[in-house]
Amino acid sequence: MKIGCDQVKTRPPVFAQILREQGKLTQERLDEALRRQVNERKFLGEVLCETTPLNAADIARALGLQQFLDLG
């Protein structure tokens, strides 16, 4: 499914998997956030900040780890 110029993937992004492995995000909350992301046409991190106890710093740290893992 396309949203603007981006395509929504069927598999969650790596940063969401990192948050799950850290115990900061449940699969149920991730699934709900992914549904809302499609319906509301927002970034997943934005939806997670709105619907879970996560904040922008949590998302930024997970994105930083994702980038580190992509480089390695």
What are the tens digits of pLDDT across the range 16-52?
Answer: 999 999 999 999 999 999 999 999 999 999 999 999 9
Q: How far apart are CA 45 and CA 16, in angstroms?
A: 9
Q: Which range (8-17, 22-31, 53-62) has the least confidence? A: 8-17
pLDDT at 1 over 80: no
Q: Output the pLDDT for position 69.
A: 84
Q: What is the dihedral of CA 29, 7, 61, 33, to 10 degrees?
A: -10
Residue 19 CB neighbour total at 10 angstroms = 25
Six token digits for residue 6: 């981006």
Q: How far apart are CA 22 and CA 19, in angstroms?
A: 5
How sure is the predictor about 8, in pLDDT bands with cuts at 50, 70 and 90? low
Domain limits, the chain:
2-71
Q: Output the pLDDT for position 19.
A: 97
Name the pTM for this structure.
0.78
